[in-house]
Structure 1
Amino acid sequence: MAVKLFVKEHLSYLIFQIVLTLFLLSLFWLDGFRSVTTAIYAIAISLLLIISFLVLRYMLRRRYLAKISTLPQTMEDALQKNAKTMEYMETERYLHELYKLYQHEVQALYATQSRQYKFMNQWVHQMKTPVSVLELLLQQEEELDKKSVQEEVERLKRGLEMVLVNARLENFSDDMQIGKVPLKSAIMSNVNDNKRLFIANRVFPEVKIDEDLIVMSDIKWLNFLIGQFITNAVKYTFEPNKKLYITAVQKEQHVHLFIRDEGVGIPKSDLPRVMKPFFTGENGRKTGESTGMGLYIAKEICDKLGHQLLITSEVGKGTQIEVIFQS
C-alpha cells in the first residue's frame, strides 16, 4: 500500500521528468547533434538519477506512508511520529494540534453534559417537594389553603424558570439583545413580581435608585439576575421583619447596583466557592432546597453580558450582591 501510494503521488513528477528529457534531446537533435549513443547514454543517466532520487525519497517517506495507508485501530496509532521530511513533519504536527483541539472540545462537551445531567437530577429531586406538598393539600378534607398552594406553585415556577435559563445558556448569543434599560423600572418590576415572597417571609424591600439611571444590558437576562438575587436574599433571611436594601450609584463610567439583605450571611470558608456549580454550602444544606446552580448561572450571565459580579458577606449580618455595569 505504501509503494502504491508513493507511485500515485509521484507519477506526475516522473512523467514530467521523462517529457523534459525528451524535450532536451529533441532540441539537440534539431541543432544537429545526432549521436544516438550519446542520446541513449543521456537517457540512461537521467533515468538512473530520477530512480535514485525517487528511491531515496521513498525510503524517507516509507514509514509515514505505511502509517497513513492503514486505518488506525487506536488514537495512539494515528499520533505516532514517523515522518522524516519537513513536509510530513509539519503534517504530523498539524494532526497533533488538531487532536489537542478535538480533545479540548470533547472534554468541554462532556463537562457540559455531565453538568446538565447532575443539574437535572438535583432539580427533579428539588421539584418533588412542592409536588408532594400540593398532593397532601389536595388530600385534606378541609377547605383548600389557597395561600399554601400559591407558595408551592411559586416554587415550581421558579424551578421551571431556572431549568429553562440553564438550557438557554448554551446558545446565549442567539438569545441576547443589548439595549438601554431603565434600572429602577427593572428593579421595581421584579420587586412587584416577588410581592408574595416578601409577604410570606416578612421581608420588606427598600429601593433607592434614581429614575434616570440607565444601564446597557439585556432586559430579559437582567430580570432573571435581579429575580435570582432577590429570591436568594429572601430565602436566606430566616428572621421576620428584616429588610432588603436595593440601591444604585453612578461612579465615573460605571453603574453599581447593590442588593443587600439582613440574612444569615455566608461563612468565609464558603464565600470563594459560592459561584461554582453545584456548591450549596452550609446555608444550602440548612434549607435543603438549593441546587447550587443559582449563583453559578448568575455569574455566567454576568460574564456573557459584560457585567462584573461581586459578593461580600458577614455571618449574622447579611450578604451584599454588587453588579457593575459598563456605561
Structure 2
Amino acid sequence: MSIKGYLKDHGICILIFLIGMGITEGIFLLFNVSITLQIFVLTVLFLGLLAAGIYDYSRKKGFYRELEQKLQQLEEKYLLMEMLEKPEFLEGQIFYNVLSEMQKSMNDEIFIQIRKNNEFKRYIETWVHEVKLPIASIRLILHEYKGTSARILKEQMGRIESYVEQVLYYLRSEVPEKDYRIAPHSLKKLTDQSVSENRDSLILNRIKIIQETQDISVYTDEKWLRFILGQIIGNAVKYKKEDSVLRIWSHQDEKHSFLHIWDNGIGIATEDLPRVFEKSFTGKNGRTHQASTGMGLYLCSTLCNRLGHRMTVESKEGKYTEITIEFCDNEYLDVLR
C-alpha cells in the first residue's frame, strides 16, 4: 500500500477536514481572534490530523504488506488465512472475518465433494471386482473350446478385461500407497507372465515374439508392472502391421536396469510423441485407426512414476515404436535390501 494510494483513498476525509479548518479560520476572523492564537489552533489541528494519518497508515501498511508477501511466497494460496494474524484496525478485522467465513464455507464444500467422490470411487471399485467374476467364468468356459472362433472370443474377453483393469488402476493410481508392495522381482519372469497373459491376442494377430529379457532382479510391484506391460503389449497388437514383431529385451549398468519393448507397428507421429503420456490424448493413431481412450500410456507413465521408475518412448511413424522402462536404485531400495 503506497502513500499515494492511501491519500487517494482518504481524499474525501482530508477535504472535509480542510473545509472544517477553513470554517474555523473564518470564525476566528469574524470574532477578531489574534493571529497568534489562530496559528496555534490551526497548527494543533493539522498536526493532530498528520499524527492520526501516520498512525493509521503504518498499521494498515504493515498488515497489507504482510498479506501481499505471504500471498506471493505461498504455492498453495488457499493456506493464506492460516498464516495471517487478525489485525487491530476495524476494516482489517471485518476483512479477516469475511475471509475466515469464506474459507470455512469452502472447506465444508470441499469435504462434501471429497466424500461424494470417495463414495463413487468405492462404488466403481466394487463394480470392477464384481464384473471380473463373470469375465473369469467366461474365460474358464472358453478353455473348453478350440479353434479360431474360440481364440477370437478369448481375445475380445482379454480386451474387455484390460479396459476393466484400466478403470481399477486409474482409481488406485491416485492413492498408490494403499495398494502396491515393493519387492525384488525377476524381469524375465514378469515379462514371460505378461506375454502368456496376452498369448491369445498375439497368436490371433500372428505377432512374432522375440523374448530376450535377462534374469535381472528389479525392485517393483509385480501386479502393477504386469499391468503396465499388458497395456504396452496391447498397444503393440492394436497398432500392428503385416509381419509384426514384438521384441522384449533388457540390459543394466551399475545403478540402473532397463526393459525395452519394441514393435515394428505403425509407429507414432512425430508431432504426437511429446504428448503420448498426457491424459486422454489419442493422437493421430487414435483418430485414424482403432478407437482409443488415451488412457493406456497415461496410466503406464503415472504408475511408473509412482513406483520410482521412468518411462520413455521412441518412435518413427510407419517404422517402429520402442518403450523403455528404467528401474532406478535409490536410498529407499538400499534399505529394503
- Alignment TM-score > 0.5, same fold: yes
Which residue does 1:224 correspond to in 2?
Answer: 227
Q: Partners in 2 of 1:249 and 1:144 — Cα distance?
A: 37
TM-score, normalization by structure 1 = 0.58
Q: How do 1:196-215 residues align onto structure 2 when only pairs under 5 Å count? A: 196-211=200-215, 213-215=216-218
- Tell me the alpha carbon deviations over residues 275-314 of structure 1, each in whole angstroms, 9 at most, x when there is no partner: 1111111111223331110011111101110101111110
Which residue does 2:309 correspond to in 1?
Answer: 307
Which residue does 1:182 correspond to in 2?
Answer: 186
Q: Partners in 2 of 1:210 and 1:148 — Cα distance?
A: 32
SS at match of 2:270: coil
Which residue does 2:17 correspond to in 1?
Answer: none
Q: Partners in 2 of 1:302 and 1:187 — Cα distance?
A: 16
Instruction: Please say if residues 267 and 320 of structure 2, whose CA atoms lie closer than 8 Å, have aligned partners that are also in contact.
Output: yes
The alpha carbon displacement at 1:164 in A equals 1.6
- Tell me the alpha carbon deviations over residues 17-74 of structure 1, each in whole angstroms, 9 at most, x when there is no partner: xxxxxxxxxxxxxxxxxxxxxxxxxxxxxxxxxxxxxxxxxxx9xxxxxxxxxxxxxx
Instruction: Please say if residues 258 and 325 of structure 2, whose CA atoms lie closer than 8 Å, have aligned partners that are also in contact.
Output: yes
Instruction: Please say if residues 247 and 259 of structure 1, whose CA atoms lie closer than 8 Å, have aligned partners that are also in contact.
Output: yes
Q: Which amino acid aligns with 2:313?
A: I
Which residue does 1:278 correspond to in 2?
Answer: 280
Q: Partners in 1 of 2:148 and 2:282 — Cα distance?
A: 34
SS at match of 1:270: helix
- Tell me the alpha carbon deviations over residues 236-274 of structure 1, each in whole angstroms, 9 at most, x when there is no partner: 11x232211111111220001111110111011111111
The alpha carbon displacement at 1:82 in A equals 12
Instruction: Please say if residues 201 and 240 of structure 1, whose CA atoms lie closer than 8 Å, have aligned partners that are also in contact.
Output: no
Instruction: Please say if residues 249 and 260 of structure 2, whose CA atoms lie closer than 8 Å, have aligned partners that are also in contact.
Output: yes
Q: Which amino acid aligns with 1:201?
A: N
Q: Partners in 1 of 2:259 and 2:306 — Cα distance?
A: 18
Instruction: Please say if residues 261 and 318 of structure 1, whose CA atoms lie closer than 8 Å, have aligned partners that are also in contact.
Output: yes
Instruction: Please say if residues 158 and 198 of structure 2, whose CA atoms lie closer than 8 Å, have aligned partners that are also in contact.
Output: no
Which residue does 1:262 correspond to in 2?
Answer: 264
Q: Partners in 1 of 2:296 and 2:195 — Cα distance?
A: 18
Which residue does 1:162 correspond to in 2?
Answer: 166
- Tell me the alpha carbon deviations over residues 99-148 of structure 1, each in whole angstroms, 9 at most, x when there is no partner: 49x68x95xx79x97xx99xx9xxxxxxxxxxxxxxxxxxxxxx993233
Which residue does 1:150 correspond to in 2?
Answer: 154
Q: Which amino acid aligns with 2:284?
A: E
1:201/1:295 CA distance change after superposition, 3 Å: same
1:83/1:282 CA distance change after superposition, 3 Å: same
Instruction: Please say if residues 262 and 318 of structure 1, whose CA atoms lie closer than 8 Å, have aligned partners that are also in contact.
Output: yes
Q: How do 1:1-327 residues align onto structure 2 when only pairs under 5 Å count? A: 84-85=87-88, 92=96, 99=103, 145-211=149-215, 213-237=216-240, 239-327=241-329
Q: CA RMSD in A?
A: 3.8
Q: Which amino acid aligns with 1:220?
A: K
Q: Partners in 1 of 2:162 and 2:225 — Cα distance?
A: 15
Runs (4+) off by over 3 Å: 81-84
TM-score, normalization by structure 2 = 0.56
Q: Which amino acid aligns with 1:207?
A: Q
Instruction: Please say if residues 151 and 200 of structure 2, whose CA atoms lie closer than 8 Å, have aligned partners that are also in contact.
Output: no
Q: Partners in 1 of 2:103 and 2:295 — Cα distance?
A: 32
Q: Which amino acid aligns with 2:236?
A: A
Q: Structure 2: 5+ residue runs without aligned partners?
A: 1-58, 60-80, 125-146, 330-337
Which residue does 2:27 correspond to in 1?
Answer: none
The alpha carbon displacement at 1:315 in A equals 0.6
Which residue does 1:43 correspond to in 2?
Answer: none
- Tell me the alpha carbon deviations over residues 189-229 of structure 1, each in whole angstroms, 9 at most, x when there is no partner: 11111111111111111111222x11010111011111111
The alpha carbon displacement at 1:232 in A equals 0.8
1:82/1:182 CA distance change after superposition, 3 Å: closer
Q: Which amino acid aligns with 1:184?
A: K
Which residue does 1:37 correspond to in 2?
Answer: none
Q: Partners in 2 of 1:207 and 1:145 — Cα distance?
A: 27
